[in-house]
Amino acid sequence: MNIRYPVSRNFLALTIIAMAAGLMALPVLAATPSETVQLRQETMKKLGKHMNAIKDFAMNGQGSAADVANRAGEIGKIAAGIPAMFPEGTGMDEVKDPKNGAKPEIWLDWDNFLKAAAKLEVESKALEAAGNGGDQEVIKAAFQNLGKNGCGNCHKPYRIKLEK
């Protein structure tokens, strides 16, 4: 009887490890390469929408600091899932429909790509904290930082901007 408890605890621990290792992304990996590209482009567009809304507050005071904090939290969640959206075989030379701008350097330089995704997560936490603080100038600085060191830091080496 007593044995069951440690076994189920082990199972739970394994599940948590598997989730932390990114195996939560199995649905993405199970998709076709085209579907994966489509999904990640939609997800990137969501990042763009969050950034536009945050910019409205940072630059013009439109919206609210609380909304900035919420959106920064969403950006952080998406950032954690970025590596799983880029399985091997989904680069711009491999998937043409839909056309995509993921450079082969992503997979040649995978560790650095992971760092770029992690950097966005860190910057999103700083922006979330700034949003919670409510000071527009602090939010503006964190927003600009995130754009440059979060999004731009990855786009520059790893993305070709597509004509759409």
How many whole angstroms separate alpha carbon 98 and alpha carbon 62?
35
**CB 16, min distance to ligand HEC, A:** 24
CB atoms within 10 A of CB 115: 12
How many whole angstroms separate alpha carbon 75 and alpha carbon 58?
16
Check residue 140 for interaction with ligand HEC (CB under 6 A): no
**CB 124, min distance to ligand HEC, A:** 8
**CB 156, min distance to ligand HEC, A:** 10
Check residue 117 for interaction with ligand HEC (CB under 6 A): yes
Nearer to ligand HEC, 39 or 138 (CB): 39
The answer for 89, left when phi > 0, alpha when psi is -120 to 50, beta otherwise, is: left
| Angle at alpha carbon of residue 49, lines to 44 and 54, rounded to 5° | 125
**CB 1, min distance to ligand HEC, A:** 49
Q: Tokens at residue 102, please?
A: 């993921």
Identify the CA nearest to 133 among candidates 56, 42, 47, 72.
72
How many whole angstroms separate alpha carbon 31 and alpha carbon 5?
36
Check residue 151 for interaction with ligand HEC (CB under 6 A): yes
Give me the 28-67 binding string for ligand HEC, x by CB under 6 A, dash otherwise: ---------x--xx--xx-xx--x----------------
- Residues 70-99 close enough to bind ligand HEC by CB under 6 A: 75, 82
Footprint of ligand HEC (CB under 6 A): 37, 40-41, 44-45, 47-48, 51, 75, 82, 100-102, 113, 116-117, 120, 150-151, 154-155, 158-159, 162
